[in-house]
A and B are shown apart, each in its own frame.
Chain A
Amino acid sequence: MDNTGKMPAGDRRLFYSLAPAAVISMGILVVMTVLFIYYSIPAVRVYGAKLITTSTWSPSEYGEPSYGLLIPILGTLISSIIAVVIALPLALSAVFFTEEVLPRSMGSVRSAFASLIEAMTGIPTIVYGLWGLMVLSPFLRDNVYQPLYRYLGFIPLFSCEPVTGSTILTAGILLSIMITPFIYAVVRQSYNQVPRTYKEAILALGATRYEYARILFGMIKPAILAGALIGFGRAAGETVAVALVVGNTFNPPTCILSPSYTVSALIANQFANAPLYPYMVNVLVLGGLILLVLGIISNILGVMYLARVRYVA
């Protein structure tokens, strides 16, 4: 309802002098969405469903280039899922550790631990990437991937020889480190909202701390799901750190010890030169649109689940 007409003159003046800033701010997302759709249309018109069902990527300046985003899309999904699967137990353990294992009398240790985890969100993502490339991936190749391949190579997931440390699994592991603090923050906030009386009631029944944890985490299940979704969204959109460790090769990510690609890494590596090739800008913008939708959907779902945590104290 527009009520500017009923405002006092001074208010109206303030309204009209601030409105341009608000319009610009909200316009950014609108312009982005419209522009991305506009740029994607030619790609969809020329290549159709082949864009997401095939996996050949052979740009050429002349003649008929062919583009398929299947491998990067799978790479994004698989690396993000690996990240969530690893990060979730870490984040939940960290929440339980801060809130229950550290005794209440050690308040400063508790808040120090919490700020350590919070500090992890402050480390620049490019520093994670540099560390992932130079420290984490050589370590994983020599101490984890080689043994995995040697002894568990009969499992298709581990069936390719790990030549480099830059693989889809490395990307997943690095992402898991990066998203753990976000999941931690979401879950911890919900954990602390559980009324004290509930916690006391559980303990009064003589539950062990294991049983206590199961009941409490069961109560905040929607928040855990929300944390996982928000973490997934973050992982799917992360760009430079992933581009440094994923290997940037069009290998199907069905074997997680081989280098592969993600949508964000593909954009990071190829978008700057895309205008040289016919339709490449359009195809990459479509990839961007997919990331945009993935990010927004996982966040909306996450917020919806969060809203489900309600207590009658």
Chain B
Amino acid sequence: MRDWRRVKERIFLAVTSILAMVAVAPLFHIIASVAIRGGGVLYRAGLDFLTSQPAPPGSSMLGGIGPALLGTLWLALLTSAIGIPLSVLTAVFIVEFKDHPLARLAKVFTSSLLEIPTVLIGMLVFLTIVSMMGHYSLLAGSIALAIVMLPYTVSYVERAMEEVPRTYREAGYSIGMTRSQVVFDVVMGIARRGVAAGVVIGLAKIVSETAPLLFTIGSARSSYPMSMKDVFEPGDAVPLLIFQFAQTPYQNWQDLAWGAALILTVIVLALFAAMKLIVREVHL
């Protein structure tokens, strides 16, 4: 009797250990695939990969993802310009006026955005901004991405501000500071690492997002956005290029997709690592 229980325990431990390994195995396989296939492509294309345009489909040349990479940089920049102030100010409002009904509504509604498939945010921007402007643009894509960023950054900034001990606020008031001075000079100053972490995690989320860009930026695969004026024109982005090139039957475009996947993975993992570093050094 007792033996059977021990046998069962053994089997159970073996099965759970194997399943736990199965759960993480894809991570290694994905990273290895991207590193090997993408690395090979990057090696073949050289530095041109980062600057030139994709070669014509089916040709033996590779070309590069220059326009898409530049587009992704512009998107990150513009999304930050729209998304960071909006998220930070919303978070400050939610923390500072917690008891006000508007703050409670804002908290519930922004955190719900996290549960919404991001493709719907693309639809929303298509139905509003894109149809108003009459064409796709990097700006429309940035607005969609800013909405994607919002719930992540709001919740991080909120948490960072909540963690600042009350005594710091009281010290601020006691030397005659106004509410906004206390909020922006004292609380934000102390919570700045948390705020930075929130911004970085928001950026990490948005640079890898594809679905919100499907119906917002168009895929202007050969234009290099250079000035603010180009923001109102269609553009391209790295994840969108991967999505579209992966579905083509052309070997050189599939190769470009693998190379682009390597670049994207490196960018995102670097942002996550930066976030971890920022968070680790929070001491209060």
Contacts and interface: CB of A to CB of B under 8 A. Distances in A.
Interface of A: 1-4, 8, 10-11, 13-15, 17-19, 21-26, 28-32, 35-36, 39, 89-94, 96-98, 101, 113, 116-117, 119-120, 122-131, 133-135, 177, 180, 184, 208-211, 213, 233, 236-240, 243-244, 264, 267-268, 271-272, 281, 284-285, 288, 291-292, 295-296, 298-299
A238 B112 CA distance: 16
Interface in B91-111: 92-94, 96-97, 99-103, 105-106, 108-110
Contact of A25 (B5, B99, B150, B210): B150
Given A14-B96, A21-B89, A268-B214, A296 B115 contact: yes
Contacts of A29: 109-110, 112-113, 116
B113 A28 contact: yes
Contacts of A292: 116-117, 120
B81 interface: no
B26 to A, nearest CB: 5
- Which of B37, B154, B210 has its CB near the most chain A CB atoms (within 10 A)? B210
19 contacts: A3-B100, A8-B179, A18-B89, A18-B93, A18-B96, A19-B102, A22-B106, A28-B124, A32-B116, A90-B20, A97-B16, A117-B24, A117-B27, A131-B30, A210-B13, A239-B119, A243-B243, A271-B123, A272-B214
B50 interface: no
B121 to A, nearest CB: 8
Interface stretch (B39-47, B224-232, B258-266): B258-266
Interface range on chain B: under 10, 10 to 19, 20 to 34, or 35 or more? 35 or more
B85 A30 contact: no
A239 B19 CA distance: 27
A299 B93 CA distance: 25
Given A18-B97, A134-B258, A292-B120, 7 more contacts: A14-B96, A90-B22, A98-B20, A116-B27, A208-B9, A239-B118, A271-B215
B186 interface: no
A101 B96 contact: no
B131 to A, nearest CB: 8
B239 A126 contact: yes
A110 B227 CA distance: 48
B105 to A, nearest CB: 5
B241 to A, nearest CB: 9
Contact of A126 (B121, B123, B242): B242
A271 B89 CA distance: 33
Contact of B179 (A1, A11, A25): A11
B112 A296 contact: yes
A140 to B, nearest CB: 13
B110 A26 contact: yes
A30 B5 contact: no
B8 A208 contact: yes
B132 interface: no
Contacts of B282: none
Contacts of A19: 93, 102
Given A122-B269, A288-B123, A291-B120, A25 B86 contact: yes
Contact of B99 (A3, A93, A134): A3
Nearest to A295: B115
B6 interface: yes
A107 B128 CA distance: 51
B5 A285 contact: no
Nearest to A298: B115
Contacts of B97: 15, 18
B137 interface: no
B210 A125 contact: yes
Interface string B33-76: 11001000000000000000000000000000000000000000
